[in-house]
Amino acid sequence: MTVQRPERGDGIGIEVTGDLVRGVRLGTTTPGRLAAAAEVPITVRADDRALVDALVRLRAELGDPGVPTRVAVFPPGSTLSRVDATGLDPNELKRLRASLSSSRSASSSVLVDDGPRRWLVGVSWNDTEIRRLEELAERSGFVDVAIDPSPLALARVVGENVTQLRRDASADQSFGAILSDRVVIAAAALDPIGRMSPALACSDVAVPAGWFDDLVSPAELVAEIWRLLDEAPPVAVDLDLATLPYPEFPPHDLRAPQRQCVALGAAVGAAGLTGRLRPVDLHVVAQMRVDAERPWAIERVSNVPTSGDAPTIGPVKRSLAKLIPRRR
């Protein structure tokens, strides 16, 4: 059997929510690039076997291809913000990542190129859950798996005029994002209560690029994004797959843009259609036990010089002391 080698333009995008997984496959030989779309429910999200079963069924629906895969996820409680990293060398990037980790609780980061500018996007989420999803996706048979924050994935396929958006993925997962030229400035998971899903709402009201520079607290970030989204009037938006317009489908269709918008953005990234892509870096901080034995470590405990041995009597005086009686 001849195995077809994946080419640029072949990729799979998956959106993982609390109760279902959505996926699309892009192909170079398919008109309009969309080769397949599917949606599979998850019985129990916390159960590894249930999630693997849903991913295996999704892979079968997509045609069981061996092409790169990106899994888009942005669980409740997640936040995202960017800082300027233009011209920084690797050591300066490490220090900037450490600064984001301490000031904004950003346990992960990803570099995003924007023409001559480079941004370091700090992501605050549950690292354990992210590693779990990546491992389970590989166990399900997907190849070349990478994790993608959902706001970054969605920004790849919305129009350049979109500056604000809200994505309601499921009954328990929703997020809002502020954009500039398809680059995410800030994003946060929002309360999905009272929202219809799946849905996508966009606005074109411009927000200054430095609006979120001084907002380091996750609570402040969520409140400001919520306020901006509430005040912005909605506009119609058409998705595109790397300059190709995405066709309209009815809401009940599995290919509908309000259903697959995040998965489409992840697939565009997996297919290499949006320029240079970098993986998400998880900031692993080594925890060393305090009582761990480290025999190779030498610690200087004092600067006081060591005193010499106490003076003692010689052998002659010791012999005379035995003969001379002691005075009481």
pLDDT for residue 296 is more than 60 = no
Confidence grade of residue 217 (pLDDT, cut at 50, 70, 90): confident
Angle at 37 between CA 32 and CA 42, to 5 degrees: 160
Can you state the percent helix, strand and coil of the chain, rounding each to 5?
A: 25, 25, 45
For the four alpha carbons of 55, 24, 121 and 215, in that order, the dihedral sign comes to negative
pLDDT for residue 285 is more than 70 = no
Question: What pLDDT, on the 0 to 100 scale, is given for residue 300?
Answer: 60
The answer to whether 259 touches 152, Cβ cutoff 8 Å, is no
Question: What pLDDT, on the 0 to 100 scale, is given for residue 274?
Answer: 82
pLDDT for residue 308 is more than 70 = no
pLDDT for residue 268 is more than 70 = yes
Question: What pLDDT, on the 0 to 100 scale, is given for residue 45?
Answer: 82
| Cα separation, 153 vs 265, whole angstroms | 4
What would you report as the CA-atom Rg of the chain, rounded to the nearest whole angstrom? 29
Confidence grade of residue 237 (pLDDT, cut at 50, 70, 90): confident
For the four alpha carbons of 11, 59, 250 and 16, in that order, the dihedral sign comes to negative
Confidence grade of residue 17 (pLDDT, cut at 50, 70, 90): very high
Question: What pLDDT, on the 0 to 100 scale, is given for residue 291?
Answer: 44
pTM of the model as a whole: 0.82
3-state SS string over 295-322?
Answer: CCCCCCCCCCCCCCCCCCCCHHHHHHHH
Q: Which of the residue ranges 169-173, 205-209, 249-253 would you say has the lowest mean pLDDT?
A: 205-209
pLDDT tens digits for 39-83?
Answer: 999 988 889 999 999 999 999 999 877 899 999 999 999 999 999
| Cα separation, 270 vs 148, whole angstroms | 10
Question: What pLDDT, on the 0 to 100 scale, is given for residue 1?
Answer: 37
Return all residues near 203 (Cβ < 8 A) that are at least 6 apart: 162, 163, 164, 165, 229, 232, 233, 234, 235
| Cα separation, 200 vs 21, whole angstroms | 17
pLDDT for residue 281 is more than 70 = yes
Q: Is 326 exposed, middle or buried (0-12, 13-18, 19+ CB in 10 A)?
A: exposed
Question: What pLDDT, on the 0 to 100 scale, is given for residue 289?
Answer: 41
- Average pLDDT over the chain reads 86
Mean pLDDT, residues 220-243: 91
